Amino acid sequence: MSVTWCRRALVGGRFEAGVRIEADASGRVTRLTVGAPDDGAGLRLGTVVPGFGNAHSHLFHRALRGRTHGDGGDFWSWREQMYAVAGALDPDRYRALAAAVFAEMLAAGYTAVGEFHYVHHRPGGAPYPDHDMELALADAAEEIGLRLTLLDTCYLRGGLDRPLEPAQRRFGDGSAEAWLERWHRLRDRLGHRRLVTLGAAVHSVRAVTEADVAAVVAGLPAGTPLHAHVSEQPRENEECLARTGLTPTGLLARAGALSPHFTAVHATHLTGADVGLLGGAGASVALCPTTEADLADGIGPARTLADAGVRVAIGSDQNAVVDPVLELRAAEAHERLASGRRGVFDPAELWLMGTANGYASLGLADPRAVPGLAVGDLCDLVELDDASARTVGSRPEQLVLAATAADVRTVVVGGRVRPVPDVAALLADALGALGTPSTLSSPGAVSAS
């Protein structure tokens, strides 16, 4: 059993004083006491919130940070540079980069991540002998101490009417049936790792047909988290409507994908009917505000989605920014810019987005209506500095509108303090092993994801 005493902590939607948290050997909260005196036992922390959940990440995109933001272009031209990085990965490089990026996430206060993983095979498409790329991610997460929901991704074509391009062949399994066979073998291979959960994804309606989406849904165990990129760009909507008569959300709904276990990533360009379908299904949406701004995707209808009953979570996506508080602040700021109003989301809603909603999207928690710690939760905690140059004088509930990742002092996963290694050194080594900037920024042409 572990014991943590917090000077104050977010419980039941409020910051309460003197919170004692007891967790069992499995790392789950068994008892919460509010107003408890500090008896000097166990771990002693200051201002504590639940760990942040990163609902959507492509960790290898981190290799492009600081090199692709100032050259103009659009989402489609940016993708060509991204494919060059994917082409340089092998299991050893992938594990090293994953450990470095996961360490950066842990240092920023993320205690769980959903890695949207599709770099499955060797360049050219030949399989590795033993799920080498997937095990590289699982091993890296366990090394760092970050919870990983491995969203193994079905990726079968290069566009609505195009086969995979050469740069995409390592992403594909040939058919939904072959992907499902590999997914089930991977589940057996992963076994019962304490920090690793196997989820699933269909890359998008561009990359997986409606029939294959239906096959994926039918072939997965009940309750498996299922994610998909949805309506990130208007072009996706236009092509899907032209070829099927449905929006991407409509197509996914008809294929049976929408459920409380489904997460639509981005969901930037939705119709009112799309919002209704997602809300009616009790689904989640993973907003990635810093990525959506960087790639000029647009502003998603976050307030409208939340009002329709959709659980809104956040993700770091391309990892140009790894900071959950900044993602939350960006989501709220985008709504202010779009509406001309302040306070479109109140602080309690932002805490919920960043913590419990992310965990629910990743299959790590049941949905809830208020933020904060509760008995039965995973004992994943983040201590924030409430007296830094950024936060001093802030009301506790408004730390989400004042703090940054620089204010994360201590991170606890499963009741254990997780020491953060030298993130910069890990990143320098991993990025150096991938190659020089010139080799990563000169990819061959790719016409579709």
With tokens 């050893």, the residue in question is 92
Which tokens belong to 36?
């408890």
Residues annotated as catalytic are 266, 317
Quickly count: other Cβ atoms within 10 Å of residue 79's Cβ.
Answer: 17
**What residues contact residue 150 under an 8 Å CB cut-off, 6+ apart?**
115, 117, 134, 137, 138, 190, 196, 197, 198, 199
Give strand pairing partners of 50.
381
DSSP 73-100: --HHHHHHHHHHHHHT--HHHHHHHHHH
> Which residues make Cβ contacts (< 8 Å) with residue 252, sequence separation at least 6?
205, 213, 228, 230, 258, 262, 264
Pairing of strands 147-154, 2-11: unpaired
Which letter does DSSP use for residue 435 in this model?
-
Nearest in space to 355 (alpha carbons), one of 48, 47, 33, 20: 48
- Cβ(65)–Cβ(100) below 8 Å: no
Q: Sheet harboring 29-34: ordered strands across? A: 29-34, 14-23, 2-11, 43-50, 381-384, 408-413, 416-417
How far CA 200 is from CA of 187, 219, 337, 416, in Å, comes to 11, 11, 34, 28
Q: What share of the chain is helix, strand, coil (3-state, %, to 5)?
A: 40, 20, 40
